[in-house]
Structure 1
Amino acid sequence: MKASILAFCIIYIAFICKTIAAPEPVLDISGKKLITGVKYYILPVIRGSGGGLNVANVSNLNSNNNTCPLYVVQEKLEVKNGGAVTFTPYNAKQGVILTSTDLNIKSYVTTTCPQTQGCGS
């Protein structure tokens, strides 16, 4: 009796660990799997709460008008999607994006930081 209870507990724990540890594909708003290298827009879940994410030079936060680095901001208007981004898993160059994996996120920025000049330039 004790052996069967112990075996059941081991199988149950193994099943739960496998369920928790198994990464699943990340889905877009249409239910399709996110693919490496495809451009996506990051939008809010709730409609009417602003637009998508973008990268901006927020010069009004500092006294210096040449603020760098750039900041990630949300567009004020819902009709603006923001800037496109691509996702690449840290350990892979192509494929499907999975949950619980490290990612590189590349933004396609049109704003640039000013060139800094060193001493003697």
Structure 2
Amino acid sequence: MKTSLLAFSIISLAFICKTIAAPEPVLDITGKKVTTGVKYYILPVIRGKGGGLTVTNENNLNSNNNTCPLFVLQEKLEVKNGQAVTFTPYNANQGVILTSTDLNIESYGV
């Protein structure tokens, strides 16, 4: 009984390990890998649904914090790209952004 339970556990673990996919590179809209140190604009996929993303303190009337924006907003006009951002993996040894991994996002003023 113990042998069959152990065998079942090993088979189950092997199956679970095979079904969990390794992180894949994140691709931009042109199909190229998203890399660190490159500025990107986060835009809607569907045209006519507003512009890009920007960070601001605009909606926080009680805050005197001008150094760290607290809100991410979408530009109302489609012609506005918003603010550029760069992605940096938590593991700085990687040059490509991978799915299901931790990363930092830094925004740049327009």
TM over 0.5: yes
Q: Are 1:20 and 2:20 an aligned pair?
A: yes
SS at match of 2:32: coil
After superposition, residues 105-116 of structure 1 pair within 5 angstroms as: 105-109=105-109
Between Structure 1 and Structure 2, whose CA radius of gyration is higher? 1
Distance 1:109 1:94, change over 3 A: farther
Mark the CA change 1:75 to 1:13 in structure 2 (over 3 Å): closer, same or farther: same
Q: State the 1:63 CA deviation.
A: 5.8
Amino acid aligned to 1:62: L
Which aligned pairs between 1:1-121 and structure 2 lie closer than 5 A? 10=11, 14=14, 17-58=17-58, 61-62=60-61, 66=64, 68=66, 69-70=68-69, 71-109=71-109
Report SS of the residue matched to 1:29. Answer: coil
TM-score norm. by structure 2 comes to 0.75
Q: What is the aligned residue count?
A: 102
Under a length normalisation based on structure 1, what TM-score does the superposition of the two structures give?
0.69
Amino acid corresponding to residue 14 of structure 2 in structure 1: A
The verdict on how the C-alpha distance between 1:104 and 1:84 changes in structure 2, with shifts beyond 3 A counting, is same
Deviation at 1:67, TM superposition (A): 5.8
**Closer/same/farther in 2, CA of residues 25 and 49 from structure 1, 3 Å limit:** same
* Coordinate RMSD, CA, aligned: 2.7
Which structure 1 residue ranges, 5 or more long, are not aligned?
111-121
Query: Whole-Å Cα distance in 2 between the matches of residues 32 and 44 of structure 1?
Result: 18
Does the aligned pair in 2 maintain the 1:36–1:93 contact within 8 Å? no
Classify the secondary structure of the residue corresponding to 2:106: strand
Secondary structure at the aligned position of 1:85 is classed as: strand
State the one-letter code of the partner of 2:22: A
Shift of 1:18: 3.5
The alignment partner of 1:33 has SS state of coil
Compute the displacement of 1:16 (Å).
Answer: 5.4
Q: Which runs of at least 4 in structure 1 moved beyond 6 Å after TM superposition? A: none
